[in-house]
Homo-oligomer: A and B are copies of this chain.
């Protein structure tokens, strides 16, 4: 039995059981705050805490403007929650940025190799077309830096999705979101950012071609060079 201050865990455990048994599915509406409080004999404040936790973990979305009391819809959007958690743990300095970058490198290069032998599907074609559009948009020197970084992150996450592993894609997306602040700081320290941006774009074109032509090892090597070069800029004198 949880202590009084942890009564919210009964709601979380109840939901996990219902999900596992299939009684509650994505898109379903959870019972309202009052109903849950009565059912479990706990305070509405405890129910609200549980709903907040589900909200920040990307597991529910409130259905109307009147707060979680009005019934929350079950969703599954894990990457934002994982990204926030990773970012906070990086902020505590428990997780070094270097290790995040190395992990990203490992997952991206491995995905590149696997993507080369993935089946030809409409999803693959759509992702490659979208990646090509992002690269084309980034070719425009008048694209503001903030949008360049956002496009860049999306480009990499799209490519890593081509291997077809949703967990890798989720982790990649979280790592990218967790390191965006670091990328912006790195860029702010650079003397010659416009030149660096042009080099990054040349690399993006090469990476995209290797993915399009299913040259897995080339794609992995180009990604390794691209990521190592950019993160090496900050350490350089």
Residues of B within 8 A of A92 (CB): 19, 25-26, 59, 74, 76
Question: In the complex, which residue of chain B has the Cβ closest to the Cβ of A170?
Answer: B95
Residues of B within 8 A of A19 (CB): 88, 91-93
Q: Which residue of B81, B86, B166, B168 is within 8 Å of A94 (Cβ)?
A: B166
Residues of B within 8 A of A48 (CB): 45, 49
| Distance of A199 from chain B, by nearest CB (Å) | 26
Task: Count residues of A near B (Cβ-Cβ below 8 Å).
Answer: 52
| Distance of A184 from chain B, by nearest CB (Å) | 12
Residues of B within 8 A of A95 (CB): 76, 78, 166-167, 170
Copies in the complex: 2
| Between-chain CB contacts (< 8 Å), 20 pairs | A8-B52, A16-B88, A19-B88, A19-B92, A53-B56, A58-B89, A76-B92, A78-B85, A82-B82, A85-B85, A95-B167, A95-B170, A96-B167, A99-B165, A99-B167, A99-B168, A102-B165, A103-B168, A106-B110, A110-B110
